[in-house]
A = this chain, B = another copy of it.
Amino acid sequence: MPIKIRAAEIRDCDRMMELIRELAEYEKAPDAVTVSLDHFQNAGFGKNPVWHALVAKTDDGIVGFALWYTRYSTWKGTRLYLEDIIVTESHRGKGTGRMLFDAVTDEARNRGMTGMMWQVLDWNEPAIRFYNKTKGVRMESGWLNAHLDF
């Protein structure tokens, strides 16, 4: 079944949120998703879009996506932050993740960014293997994530 990568559209948001919940379950945090569809749509397609995404589509519908936003590193300058890259379980192992990752890399280069970054859970071995196979990727431990919820 051919896979097509294209920019996300507002009508994709419902399905994307299903995939976000699927990833949260995989990452052992099923209750962590508190964002609403309305907020999600507005943040991506409202007056000042914060996130951008590419979706992977087959005849069955959307099977995965990559979502990113622009970050600023005071060391490296403007960079792409890859927030999520998700392929639904039944479609894994077919190269969809690689297609999405490469397309995101192209986006960052085309926008003149100096690079990109993202985070991986240290027990997520399939993801770590995937990134270890990706030329130029370096992974770094030793940082804590700090959160403050209002």
Residues of chain A whose beta carbon lies under 8 Å from any beta carbon of chain B: 20, 23-24, 29, 32-35, 39-40, 43, 50-51, 67, 69-78, 81, 83-84, 105, 108-109, 113-123, 128, 131, 134, 136-150
Contacts and interface: CB of A to CB of B under 8 A. Distances in A.
Contacts of A73: 35, 83
Contacts of A138: 146-148
Contacts of A147: 115-117, 137-140
Given A35-B75, A71-B81, A73-B83, A119 B144 contact: yes
A114 B71 CA distance: 18
A105 B149 CA distance: 10
Contact of A74 (B33, B123, B131, B150): B33
Given A34-B76, A139-B144, 19 more contacts: A24-B75, A29-B75, A32-B76, A33-B75, A34-B75, A40-B74, A40-B77, A43-B72, A69-B70, A74-B83, A109-B150, A114-B150, A115-B148, A117-B147, A120-B143, A122-B144, A140-B144, A140-B146, A143-B143
